[in-house]
Amino acid sequence: MVNRDGYEEIAARLDRYADVPADVLAEVVTRDGLCFWAFDRSEFPDLSGEDTPDRELAARLCAGCPVIDECLELELRTSGADTIGVWGALADTDRREVHRAWLTRRSGAEGGEQG
Ligand code: SF4
C-alpha cells in the first residue's frame, strides 16, 4: 500500500535525475524499457480505476524493467498531473500523488522543473 510517506520517498528517489535532460531520459527509456521491446503493452488490460487491481497491474507490467525510475521521472515531466495509464511501475492515481510531492521538491530546486 502506497501512502503519503511512500509518495514522498519515491519523489525523493527521483532527485538524482533532476539535472538529466528529458531527451536523454527519453532515449534511455525507449531503448531499455521492457515495454518498448520485450512485450506488447496492449496485451495488458486497461486500468480499472480501483487502487488494488491497478497497482497489481502496474507492478506486473513493469516487473524487471531496468529503467523504472527514469520512466517515472520522464512521465512526471511530460504529463504531470494529466498522466494516465501505467508508467514507472505506478498506476496513474499513485503517479499523480507522486507528482505533487515531486513538484514540491523541484520547485525549491535550482532551475525548477525541466522539460
Ligand atoms: S517502467 Fe514500465 S512503463 Fe516504463 S519503460 Fe519500464 S516497463 Fe515500460
Q: pLDDT (tens digit, 9 = 90+) per residue, 32-66?
A: 999 999 999 999 999 999 999 999 999 999 999 99
pTM score: 0.91
Sorted by where each begins, the domain ranges of the chain are 4-41+49-107
Residue 76 Cβ contacting ligand 1 at under 6 Å: no
Q: Ligand 1: distance of its center to the CA of 112 in Å?
A: 25
Mutate which of 29, 44, 57, 60 for ligand 1 pocket (most atoms within 8 A of beta carbon)? 29
Q: Which amino acid is at 71?
A: C
Answer whether residue 98 shows pLDDT above 90.
yes
Residue 35 Cβ contacting ligand 1 at under 6 Å: yes
How many CB atoms are closer than 10 A to CB 3? 9
Count of H-run helices and E-run strands, the chain: 6, 0
Q: Contact, 101 vs 11, CB < 8 A?
A: yes
Cα(114)–Cα(20) distance, integer angstroms: 9
Residue 25 Cβ contacting ligand 1 at under 6 Å: no
Q: Contact, 113 vs 103, CB < 8 A?
A: yes
